[in-house]
Amino acid sequence: MTTREPLREPRQERSRTTRRKLIGAVVQCLAERGWQGTTVAEVAERAGVSRGAAQHHFPTREDLVVAAVEHLGDEQIAELRARAAALPAGPSRALPVAEMLLDLYAGETFRAALHLWVAASTDAGLRDVLLPLQARVGREAHRVAVELLGADESRPGVRETVQATLDLARGLGLANLLTDDTPRRRQIARQWATLLEPTVTATARPGAGVPGT
C-alpha cells in the first residue's frame, strides 16, 4: 500500500493526459481518413500512446467515438458561451450571435462527426452508439442557442426558429466540407440576423410597432 499511494496522483494525471491525446487523435483521424480508416491502433499511433494503453482506456473504436463526441460537444458549447459572454448587450449583438451560431459546424469537429453519421447510416452498431449522443449534443446546442439569442420560447414559432437556426448551421457546415464557403456564410448570417430579430427577440423591444407607446 505504502509504495502505491504516492504514485496515485501522477498516475491519474497520466491517465487523463492519455485520454486527452487519444480523443484529439481520433477526431483528427476521422476527419482525415474517415470511419473506415479509424482503428484503435491507428489512433494510438497518432496519439503517441501504446496500443495496450489505448485499449485499456477504449477497448473498441466505438468507445473512442463516444468519448470524443461527448468531449467535443461539451468543449464547443463551452467555447461558444465564453465567446458570447464577451459580446456587448443590445441590438448590436444580433449579428455576431448569428455569425457564431452559423459558424458552429464549419470546422474539423463537424467534418469528423459527419464521417461518423454517414458511416452510421450503413452500420447499425455505430448507429445505436450515436443516436443517444446526437440527442444529447443536439439538446445542449439548442439550449445554448436559446441563451445566446435571448429567445423566449413560450412565444409561438420561436422554438422552431431556434431549431431552424441550428439546422441551417448544419447545412452550412455541409456546404463548407469541400470548399471554403466562409464569404457566402457571412452574407447569409447578415440576412439571418435581420430575419431572426423580430421573431426571436420581440419581447426585448416592448411596444415595438404600437405607435404612441
Burial environment of residue 180 by CB neighbours within 10 A (0 to 12, 13 to 18, 19 or more): exposed
Size of the site for a copy of itself (CB under 8 A): 46
Query: Does the protein bind a copy of itself through residue 208 (CB under 8 A)?
Result: no
* CA-closest candidate to residue 98, choices 10, 172, 6: 172
SS3 of residue 14 by DSSP: helix
Site string (110-139) toward a copy of itself, x via CB under 8 A: -x--xx-xxxxxx----x--xx--x-----
Q: Within a 13 Å sphere around the CA of 67, how many CA atoms are in the beta-carbon half?
A: 19
Q: Is 67 in the site for a copy of itself (CB under 8 A)?
A: no
Question: Which residue in the block uniquely carries the three cell numbers 485499449?
Answer: 55
Q: Please state, in angstroms and rounded to a whole number, the distance separating the CA atoms of residues 32 and 44.
A: 15
Q: Does 213 help bind a copy of itself (rule: CB under 8 A)?
A: no
Cell matching residue 194: 435581420
What is the C-alpha to C-alpha distance for residues 44 and 33, in angstroms, rounded to an integer?
A: 15
Site string for a copy of itself, 175-194 (x = CB under 8 A): x-xxx----x--xx-xxx-x
**Binding status of residue 171 toward a copy of itself by CB under 8 A:** yes
**The binder of a copy of itself chosen from 33, 51, 93, 142 (CB under 8 A):** 33
- From the list 84, 174, 202, 204, which residue makes contact with a copy of itself (rule: CB under 8 A)? 174
Q: How far is the CB of 56 from a copy of itself (least distance, A)?
A: 29
Per-residue x/- track, 70-109, a copy of itself (CB under 8 A): ----------------------------------------
Containing 128, the helix (H) or strand (E) segment is helix 124-149
Matching residue, cell 499511494: 5
- As a dihedral over the C-alpha atoms of residue 108, residue 114, residue 115, residue 119, rounded to 10 degrees, the angle is 170
x/- map, 137-166, a copy of itself, by CB under 8 A: --------------------x--xx-xx-x
Residues that bind a copy of itself (CB under 8 A): 31-34, 36-37, 111, 114-115, 117-122, 127, 130-131, 134, 157, 160-161, 163-164, 166-175, 177-179, 184, 187-188, 190-192, 194-195, 199
